[in-house]
Amino acid sequence: MSDYTGHVDPDGPWQDRRDGNLLVRKCSVEEMDNNVYVIACTNTGAALLVDVAARPDRLREALDGFAPVAAVQTHGHWDHVRAWNGIRDEAGVAVWGHPGDASLFPRPVDRELSDGDRLPVGDLEVEVIHLPGHTEGSLLYLVEGAERPHLFSGDTLFPGGPGNTFGSAENHRRIMDGLEARIFGRLPDDTWVYPGHGDDTTLGAERPNLSEWRARGW
């Protein structure tokens, strides 16, 4: 939609964006300003929910009118999994994630995702990118729209830098190596980035800062 801004307030209205037969719905929930996304095929109504963060009633409302294939996790930190039971058990939507975060998840995933998996969502295909550093099992999800790629980056990439690596120089190196080689080295500047918290960005807006991020060590 032309009025999509990428900014949503916690527990406020969601925003929808269309790019060909791709619809992205963005909403934010609770005090950690967790972004939750619906990736939907407008041709078929099939959809993925990205992160069962909180407010299961709100997330079910965001899915109303769609046929959810699954909920997919960017990672397992507590603020991204609080609606797990409400989505899995009450709404009957399977939850998928990477086994590297099994110890963080509140219960086993219904399907283990791996790097390079391609998830059919109606006429769309969502690529799974495993990029550890913020957590061992951190995943990003990439889908091509008619006009540009759309990247759901969880807590791995934000406006202004990579995700928190909690003082680990090794994990900072891993996250930067992965971002530079597999994200910035592969995707164009107009790739739209949907992070796990806060406003959106593009790869073009962030690319000039890569060397600074690596040098600062966080």
* Strands, E assignment, 51-206: 67-72, 95-97, 111-112, 118-121, 124-130, 139-144, 149-154, 157-158, 161-162, 192-195, 201-202
pLDDT in tens, 31-63: 999 999 999 999 999 999 999 999 999 999 999
Question: Average model confidence (pLDDT) for the chain?
Answer: 97
What pLDDT, on the 0 to 100 scale, is given for residue 3?
87
We find that the CATH architecture of domain 15-216 is 4-Layer Sandwich (3.60)
H or E stretch covering 41: strand 34-41
For 100, the 3-state DSSP assignment is: helix
What pLDDT, on the 0 to 100 scale, is given for residue 2?
56
What pLDDT, on the 0 to 100 scale, is given for residue 217?
87
What pLDDT, on the 0 to 100 scale, is given for residue 125?
98
What predicted TM-score, i.e. pTM, was given to this entire model?
0.98
CA distances (Å), 13 to each of 9, 10, 80, 142, 154, in order?
7, 9, 19, 24, 20
What pLDDT, on the 0 to 100 scale, is given for residue 218?
80
Instruction: Output the tens digit of pLDDT for each of the chain's 218 residues.
Output: 458 999 999 999 999 999 999 999 999 999 999 999 999 999 999 999 999 999 999 999 999 999 999 999 999 999 999 999 999 999 999 999 999 999 999 999 999 999 999 999 999 999 999 999 999 999 999 999 999 999 999 999 999 999 999 999 999 999 999 999 999 999 999 999 999 999 999 999 999 999 999 999 88
In the block, which residue shows the tokens 């407008």? 42
What pLDDT, on the 0 to 100 scale, is given for residue 118?
98
What pLDDT, on the 0 to 100 scale, is given for residue 1?
41
